C-alpha cells in the first residue's frame, strides 16, 4: 500500500512539472497595416503655368503686373494653397493657408477640407471660382479689421459683391499647416490668418493698380 502511495505521489509531481507555463503575449501592431494620410504638395510647374495666364490677364486689363494672388482650391485646406506670385522673379514670394465656404456643412468647422464645393449663387455659403480684381480697402468686423472688395470678372464669380464676398483675415486661421485637419470654413470669403493679412495688406496698398486674385481648382 505504501509503495502505491509513493508511486502515485511521484506521478503527480512529474505531471505538475510538465504543465505548460503561461507566457504573456505582447500586443504587437503590424506596422504594414497602419495607414497614414499622405500630405499633399503644391505643384510648382502648375502654379507657374497659371501665373503666365494671370500675367496676360493683368496686362490686358491694366492690373498690377508686379504680383498676383493665386489660390489653388484643389489642394487640401490644411496646407498652404494661397500663393503670392512675383511676376518679375517668376516665383512664389509668400504662401499661406486660406479658407473656403462651408456650404451646408457647419460654419467654422472643416467638413469639406479635401473636397470643397463651389457656387456663384447667393445664399450658397460657398466660394466661387474665377478671376477677381481686388478693389477698395475697407473696414472688416473680422480679423485685423481690414477687408478688400472682390470684383468677379467671370460668369462663375460675378455675384461676389452682391453676396458680400470679400477678402479678409480671421482669428481662427492658422499661420502654419494644420494637415490632416483643415482650415475653418466660412460663408464663401477667402480668409487668411491675421499675421498673413498684416503682410499682404501693405503690399496691396502700395500696389498702385488693382491686384488680380485667381481662385481655381
CA 191-106-101 angle, 5° bins: 35
**Which conformational region is residue 79 in: left (phi greater than 0), alpha (psi within -120 to 50 degrees), or beta?**
beta
- pLDDT tens for 82-112 read 999 999 999 999 999 999 999 999 999 999 9
- pLDDT tens for 38-84 read 999 999 999 999 999 999 999 999 999 999 999 999 999 999 999 99
Please write down the long-range contacts of 53-57, taking CB distance under 8 Å and 24 or more positions apart.
54/85, 54/131, 54/212, 54/214, 55/87, 57/131, 57/212, 57/214
The pLDDT of 186-198, averaged and rounded, is 98
Domain boundaries, the chain: 44-216
Structure confidence at residue 37 (pLDDT): 81
Structure confidence at residue 27 (pLDDT): 47
In CATH, the number for domain 44-216 is 2.40.440.10
Structure confidence at residue 29 (pLDDT): 44
Say if CB 185 and CB 102 are below 8 A apart: yes
pLDDT above 60 (res 206): yes
The pLDDT of 106-123, averaged and rounded, is 97
Percentage of the chain lying above the pLDDT 90 cut: 83
Amino acid at each position: 500500500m505504501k509503495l502505491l502511495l509513493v508511486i502515485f505521489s511521484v506521478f503527480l509531481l512529474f505531471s505538475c512539472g510538465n504543465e505548460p507555463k503561461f507566457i504573456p503575449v505582447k500586443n504587437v501592431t503590424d506596422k504594414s497595416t497602419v495607414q497614414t494620410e499622405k500630405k499633399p504638395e503644391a505643384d510648382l510647374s502648375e502654379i507657374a503655368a497659371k501665373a503666365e495666364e494671370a500675367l496676360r490677364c493683368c496686362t490686358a486689363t491694366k492690373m498690377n503686373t508686379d504680383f498676383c494672388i493665386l489660390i489653388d482650391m484643389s489642394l487640401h485646406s490644411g496646407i498652404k494653397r494661397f500663393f503670392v506670385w512675383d511676376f518679375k522673379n517668376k516665383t512664389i514670394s509668400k504662401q499661406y493657408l486660406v479658407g473656403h465656404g462651408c456650404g451646408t456643412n457647419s460654419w467654422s468647422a472643416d467638413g469639406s477640407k479635401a473636397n470643397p464645393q463651389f457656387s456663384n449663387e447667393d445664399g450658397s455659403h460657398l466660394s466661387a471660382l474665377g478671376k477677381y480684381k481686388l478693389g477698395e480697402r475697407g473696414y472688416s468686423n473680422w480679423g485685423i479689421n481690414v477687408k478688400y472688395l472682390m470684383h468677379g470678372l467671370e460668369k462663375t464669380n460675378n455675384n461676389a459683391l452682391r453676396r458680400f464676398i470679400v477678402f479678409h483675415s480671421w482669428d481662427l486661421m492658422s499661420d502654419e499647416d494644420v494637415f490632416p485637419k483643415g482650415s475653418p470654413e466660412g460663408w464663401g470669403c477667402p480668409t487668411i490668418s491675421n499675421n498673413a493679412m498684416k503682410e499682404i495688406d501693405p503690399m496691396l496698398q502700395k500696389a498702385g493698380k488693382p491686384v488680380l486674385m485667381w481662385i481655381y481648382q
